Every structure is written in C-alpha cells, then in structure tokens.
Amino acid sequence: MTRTETSSPGGHAVTGVVDRPHGHQVDTASQGDEDRDMHLLRLSLDLQLDAMLLVLGASAAMTPEAGIPWRRWLDEDVELAHELTSTALVVKASLPASLGPDLANADPDVIADDLLMRYESMCGLLSDLLSRWVDSTPPWIVQVRQALGCCQERVVELRDHRHHRRMTAGAHHGRAEAGSSRHSQAYLPGELLG
C-alpha cells in the first residue's frame, strides 16, 4: 500500500492517492474533507441538542413578558434536531450518545420497551410525589398531575404496542417472554452508567 502525506510542512493539504487492495484507490484529500464534514455535522447536532434543552428550560422559567418566543423556538428546535439527526443517519455520521446507541440499526421495539421502563418509573415517582400532598394542594401540584397524566397516557400506548407485538409475533414468543422479564424492575436515571 502506498500512502502520501496529507499535509505539507506549511500546513496546507496535499492531494494524494492511497492504493488499496484489489485496485481500489481513494483520494486522501476527499476522504479528509468527508471526515471533516461528518465531524462538523456531529458537532452541530450536539450544539442543537444543547440549545434545545436551554430553550426548554427558558420556556418553562421565563414569563411571556420577556418578549422572546421561547415556546415557538422550542417547537422549531425539535424540528431542527430531527432534521439534523436524519441527515446524520443518511450520511452515516456518528450520533450523540443521548440519542441512543447505534440508532441507525436499533430495533424500534427495543426502543419502545426502554421508553416504557422510563415512563413507568416516572409514573411511580410522580404518583409518590402527589401522595405527599394529599391534605394540601400547592399551585404547582396542578402541573405535576398533568405531567402524570401525560406519562400514564404514554404508558398505555406503549403497553398496547407491546401487546400487539406479542399477539403478532407468534414464532418469536420466547423472545417476547424474555423481554417481558427484563421490564420487571424500574428504570431510574443513572442506572445506565453502571
């Protein structure tokens, strides 16, 4: 294999060709540009996810009188993050770990089961929180009840999906049973780090 330097002593890129087995050749300058493009796309997606969470926090904390359309920006940021993620998948760029491991090859049912664990755990946590305020109802309890309702609706949808999957799996009955035993414990943040 013959390799050429990709940069000159002055730091400028030098176009070269690398001989590959079976007669294939790759332009090293083009490969470098592609790697750089993938890196820039990944960084942009990282920054967009950070920005989206910052806007999320601001939209919850700030009053409408601030004059900044936080909620609209949040909706637009979700769409932008979706577009950047879709583009990264198309060009096979690496994705932030927060979007899930090997998202391009992930099984949608596995993702749905992981989400079910999270929403079930959130329901338990929010229900426990509400049970501590039976005798008094501070104003913020209304938002907690609404959040619990949303989580419960999502749990119903996810359980319906899992039930439908089991009903149609047939030949994969053993796999579904193995998957169900995995969800007997609650998911709590930080457990994935262990």
DSSP per residue, 65-83 = GG---HHHHHHHHHHHHHH
Q: How far apart are CA 117 and CA 123, in angstroms?
A: 10
Q: Tell me which range, 12-16, 78-82, 173-177, is most confidently predicted by mean pLDDT.
A: 78-82
The pLDDT tens digits of the residues spanning 24-46 come to 454 556 666 678 888 898 899 99
Check whether 79 has a pLDDT greater than 80. yes
Stretch 77-95: mean pLDDT? 91
Q: Is the pTM of this model over 0.75?
A: no
Which of the four pLDDT bands, split at 50, 70 and 90, describes residue 13?
very low
Question: What was the pLDDT predicted at 169?
Answer: 76
Where in the chain are the domains?
A: 28-99, 107-193
Check whether 173 has a pLDDT greater than 50. yes
Q: How far apart are CA 27 and CA 6, in angstroms?
A: 10
Least confident of 4-8, 62-66, 89-93, 104-108: 4-8
